[in-house]
């Protein structure tokens, strides 16, 4: 049998990131504390790197030892504001006090996430205590290895899965973006942009950007569905409601498998109750819950007993979250009528390539070990400088756009999205997303994450538009001044905004009120009486 040999030419495209670009992307998304550790490690491993003379006795590490860190004051998060600009156009509205909205994106990505874990922790305690059997309580009582984190526990369950390289990267990306409660709080579009940028999908030449970002979205959808099937049940969802729904669906399947018709029916009622307003469950209003679910009060009572066996915080077994402490990388000072933006000198560390070593390595071969160390040192210094410059430029644009906020307070916050800043600076949205995540700004008004200054727009009668953050500040002012014996309902709050010229649907008011952790009028009246 004859075998023929031949040569052929073939062109193909592949994803690749240079080591320098990988390092630049990683450094840009590091927080101040993580960057300090990265710099210290680089200095220890690379003899060609050295600190500038003025930084040798300072730096972040010494500042932490002497002065501690700045405590982060409580402030709203910009993530709670996203995705709400279209709420005012909604025609159908749920009962007063319920947000009741689930966007198309939220359905694709695993739920609405409209209630925070703090809301559930506060209201869970109000529910009558009962027998807490069930496997969730048993699992929480099991001893765990304190050295195993939630992310390690989840990734260990995926090692035997047959995944493509992109799916495996996307799955790890989702796991590492879970918060301390096990929820995926970030908006789908932001996650897709971040993943696309991390893989280089949006920056490679000869690659269609839209097609690359579609691939990232598809991989993320798969990863989120996969994470939601891991133990503990409920991780990867958008909030407590969805975590409880995932757990209830799991128990319903188990009951059907065991041919336990009564238990399966009770879990179906639980699923129906999870679409009811939270305060009905907290107050154990059997009448309203029975009418909502279309079952008897006795069936609701049995379903509530089942519901109390679940946990609204799926990652609670992995320890309490550490106290928040942040270091502002950007300082804003008011100088007369101007706002001066500068990098925090306590955080910024200046590195340079050791000139003595650089001179002696000038004639060495490029492939020698020390020559490679020299090149890596130059890359590190360049990427560090570029990181500081990018953070300062983005911060300057944010302060310029939100000037009235710094001068007059939260009610003057204007709408702002990532694309506006990216277009002004000529960079990709994923770059702005990295810069504004885990980077903090300190001003006379307070200390805020840079992401806080991005808020969706709501329509006004003048047509200028206002931000969701400004609307929240107005709602807090209205509620602070209300009559304690007759608190304002969500409909009345919407009317107050209308008189201020802000067009805001009642369901949007309910959503913002819940984001501010303010109870409904009925509960506020009970608290103040």
The residue to which tokens 């502002």 are assigned: 328
Those residues whose C-beta lies under 8 Å from the C-beta of residue 85, and which sit 6 or more positions away, are 456, 457, 458, 468
Predicted local confidence at residue 462, as pLDDT: 63
Q: Report the C-alpha dihedral over residues 248, 249, 255, 261, rounded to 10 degrees.
A: 90
**Spatial CB neighbours of 235, under 8 Å, sequence gap ≥ 6:** 150, 154, 178, 182, 183, 227, 228, 243, 314, 315
Q: Which residues lie across from 442 on neighbouring strands?
A: 331, 447
Q: What pLDDT shows up at residue 198?
A: 61
Query: CB-based contacts of 437: which residues, under 8 Å, 6+ apart?
Result: 29, 449, 450, 451
Helix H, strand E, coil C: the string for 434-451 is: HHHCCCEEEECCEEEEHH
DSSP state of 237: S
pLDDT of the residue at 365: 64
- pLDDT in the model for residue 386: 92
Q: Which of 203, 229, 234 is nearest to 216 (CA)?
A: 203
Nearest-angstrom CA–CA distance, 420 and 293: 45
Cβ contact 529:94 at 8 Å: no
Cα–Cα distance for residue pair 393/425, rounded to 1 Å: 8
H or E stretch covering 352: strand 351-353
Token code pair at residue 7? 């040569």
Cα distances (angstroms) measured from residue 60 to each of 176, 284, 436, 480: 25, 52, 20, 41
Q: Among positive and negative, which fits the CA dihedral 410, 412, 417, 418?
A: negative
Write the secondary structure of 455-468 as one string of H (helix), E (strand) and C (coil): ECEECECCCCCEEH
The residues that bridge with 457 in the sheet, in sequence order, are: 467
Query: What pLDDT does 208 receive?
Result: 59
Tens-binned pLDDT, residue by residue, of the chain (529 aa): 566 677 878 776 655 667 777 888 888 888 888 888 889 898 889 888 888 755 544 444 443 332 333 333 333 443 344 343 344 333 334 444 443 333 333 334 444 434 444 444 445 444 444 333 334 444 433 444 445 677 788 888 887 777 777 777 877 888 888 887 788 877 777 777 777 666 654 444 344 556 666 777 787 788 888 888 888 888 888 888 888 888 888 898 898 888 888 888 989 888 888 888 877 887 777 888 888 888 888 888 888 888 888 888 888 777 554 455 678 999 999 888 889 999 998 888 888 888 888 887 776 666 678 888 888 888 999 999 999 999 999 999 999 999 989 988 888 888 888 999 999 999 989 899 999 988 999 998 889 999 989 877 776 666 666 788 888 888 988 998 888 888 899 999 989 988 888 888 889 889 889 888 888 887 777 665 5
Region for 260 from its dihedrals, namely left if φ exceeds 0, alpha if ψ lies in -120 to 50, beta otherwise: beta
SS (H, E, C) 286-348: HHHHHHHHCCCHHHHHHHHHHHCCCCCCCCHHHCCCCCCEECEEEEEEEECCEEEEEECCCCC
Task: Please report the pLDDT score of residue 141 as a whole number.
Answer: 37
């Amino acid at each position: 049998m004859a075998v023929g040999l031949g040569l052929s030419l073939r062109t193909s495209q592949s994803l690749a990131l240079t080591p320098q670009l990988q390092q630049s992307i990683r450094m840009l998304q590091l927080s101040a504390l993580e960057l300090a550790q990265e710099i210290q490690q680089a200095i220890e491993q690379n003899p060609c790197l050295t600190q500038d003379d003025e930084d040798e006795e300072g730096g972040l590490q010494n500042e932490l030892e002497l002065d501690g860190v700045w405590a982060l004051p409580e402030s709203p998060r910009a993530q709670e504001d996203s995705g709400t600009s279209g709420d005012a156009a909604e025609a159908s509205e749920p009962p007063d006090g319920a947000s009741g909205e689930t966007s198309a994106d939220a359905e694709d990505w695993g739920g609405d996430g409209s209630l925070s874990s703090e809301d559930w922790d506060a209201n869970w305690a109000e529910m009558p205590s009962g027998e807490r059997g069930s496997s969730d309580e048993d699992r929480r009582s099991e001893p765990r290895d304190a050295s195993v984190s939630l992310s390690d526990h989840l990734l260990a369950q995926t090692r035997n899965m047959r995944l493509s390289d992109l799916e495996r990267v996307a799955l790890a990306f989702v796991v590492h973006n879970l918060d301390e409660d096990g929820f995926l709080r970030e908006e789908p579009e932001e996650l897709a942009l971040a993943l696309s940028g991390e893989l280089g999908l949006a920056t490679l030449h000869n690659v269609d950007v839209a097609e690359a970002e579609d691939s990232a979205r598809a991989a993320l959808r798969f990863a989120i569905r996969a994470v939601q099937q891991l133990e503990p049940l409920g991780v990867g969802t958008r909030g407590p409601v969805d975590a409880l729904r995932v757990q209830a669906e799991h128990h319903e399947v188990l009951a059907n498998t065991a041919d336990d018709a009564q238990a399966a029916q009770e879990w179906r009622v639980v699923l129906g109750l999870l679409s009811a307003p939270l305060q009905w469950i907290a107050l154990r209003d059997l009448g309203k819950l029975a009418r909502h679910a279309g079952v008897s009060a006795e069936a609701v009572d049995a379903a509530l007993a089942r519901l109390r066996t679940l946990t609204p915080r799926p990652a609670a077994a992995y320890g309490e979250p550490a106290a928040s402490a942040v270091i502002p990388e950007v300082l804003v000072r008011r100088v007369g009528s101007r706002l001066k933006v500068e990098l925090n000198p306590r955080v910024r560390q200046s590195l340079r390539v050791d000139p003595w070593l650089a001179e002696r390595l000038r004639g060495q071969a490029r492939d020698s070990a020390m020559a490679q160390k020299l090149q890596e040192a130059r890359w590190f210094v360049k990427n560090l400088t570029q990181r500081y410059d990018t953070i300062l430029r983005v911060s300057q644009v944010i302060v310029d756009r939100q000037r009235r906020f710094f001068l007059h307070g939260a009610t003057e916050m204007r709408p702002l999205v990532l694309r506006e800043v990216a277009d002004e600076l000529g960079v990709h949205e994923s770059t702005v997303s990295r810069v504004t995540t885990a980077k903090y700004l300190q001003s006379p008004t307070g200390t805020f994450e840079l992401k806080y200054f991005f808020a969706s727009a709501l329509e006004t009668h003048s047509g200028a538009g206002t931000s969701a953050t400004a609307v929240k500040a107005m709602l807090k002012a209205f509620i602070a001044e209300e009559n304690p014996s007759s608190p304002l309902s969500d409909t009345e709050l919407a009317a107050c905004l209308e008189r201020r010229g802000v067009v805001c649907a009642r369901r949007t008011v309910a959503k913002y009120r819940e984001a501010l952790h303010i109870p409904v009028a009925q509960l506020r009246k009970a608290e103040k009486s």
